[in-house]
Structure 1
Amino acid sequence: MSLKEVLNNDIKTAMKARDKATLDVLRMIKSAVQKEELTKKAELTAEEELTILSREAKQRRDSLAEFIKAEREDLIEKTKVEISIVEKYLPKQLSAEEVQEIIRETAKDIEADSMKAFGKLMGAVMPKLKGKADGNVIKEEVKKFLS
């Protein structure tokens, strides 16, 4: 079942349950998927759908950080709920140890052993971890590994 079909089913369920918070988030995700399909003029692949979900989650995490800085308690709770809804559609996030293991294996394969190889290692690791770990976590782990 494609992401769009899953979203449509979940939207119906949220409507029946009168769950406005979930409904709003699902509609935003569906809108982003449809916009991308219109731009591409074709059905999205699973990887492209994952990219959209990752982008939606990242936008909300960035907003959460800003709301925390501004001490906006009302928006903090709302955003946390939105993040949890989006994360239901993402694959299970890897732990820091799992990310480090993938970085170690990739570094060994491409022979990256200094900070000069940071870009090269990031370029090789990101496709492997896309949607499975936050980009900032990956960046920090690569820096730790190379230093």
Structure 2
Amino acid sequence: MSLVDQLKDQMKEAMRAKDKVRLGTIRMALAAIKQIEVDNRETLNDDQAIAVLTKMVKQRRDSIAQYEAAGRDELAQAEAGEIRVLETFLPKPLSEEEVAELVDATIQEVGASSMADMGKVMGALKPKVQGRADMASIGALIKAKLK
């Protein structure tokens, strides 16, 4: 079953359960996916849909930081609730050890030896970790290894 189909099924379940937060978040995710499909005139595959959901989670994390800085805890909690719903549709996150192993393997794979090769490593690594690890922390790890 595709990710979009899972989202639609879970939307129906949330309607039946009258879970407004889950329903609203799933509808928002489906709307974001549909918007990209309409804009690009193509149907998104699971990897592309995961990228959309990952972007939505990242946006919410940024919003939480801003809301907390402004003292708006109720809005930060609402965003955190949306993150919890979105994360149920993302693949299981990688552990730090798994990320380190993937980074090492990718550095060997592309033959990276200096910081000039960081783009190659990031490009090769991104599809492997899409939705399963934070690219910012991976970038920091790559920098440390390529010094």
TM-score normalised to structure 1 length: 0.91
Residues 37-46 or 75-84, more deviating: 37-46
The 2-side partners of 1:31 and 1:90 are apart by 17
CA RMSD of superposed structures (Å) = 1.4
Cα contact 1:33–1:52 (8 A) shared by 2? yes
Describe the SS at the equivalent of 2:142: helix
Alignment-mate amino acid for residue 24 of structure 1 = G
2:122 alignment partner AA: M
Per the TM alignment, residue 88 of structure 1 is displaced from its structure 2 partner at its CA by: 0.4
Which residue does 1:123 correspond to in 2?
123
Q: Deviations over 1:4-28 (max 9, x none)?
A: 2222221111112111111110010
Q: In the alignment, is the contact (CA less than 8 A) between 2:50 and 2:131 conserved in 1?
A: yes
Percentage identity across aligned positions? Answer: 38
Deviation string 1:35-69 (CA, Å, 9 cap, x unpaired) is 12212323211111111111111111111121222
Gaps of 5+ in 2: none
CA shift, 1:113, in A, is 2.5
SS at match of 1:65: helix
* 1:53 is the counterpart of 2:19: no
Q: Which residue of structure 2 lines up, in the alignment, with residue 146 of structure 1?
A: 146
SS at the partner of 2:65?
Answer: helix
Separation (CA, whole Å) in 1 of partners of 2:70 and 2:145: 34
- The aligned residue for residue 24 of structure 1 is 24
Name 1:83's counterpart in structure 2. Answer: 83
Q: How does the TM-score come out when normalised to structure 2?
A: 0.91
Asked if the contact 1:99/1:141 (under 8 Å) is kept, the reply is no
Q: Unmatched 5+ residue regions in structure 1?
A: none
The reply on whether 1:106 has 2:110 as its aligned counterpart is no
* Residue identity matched to 1:48: Q
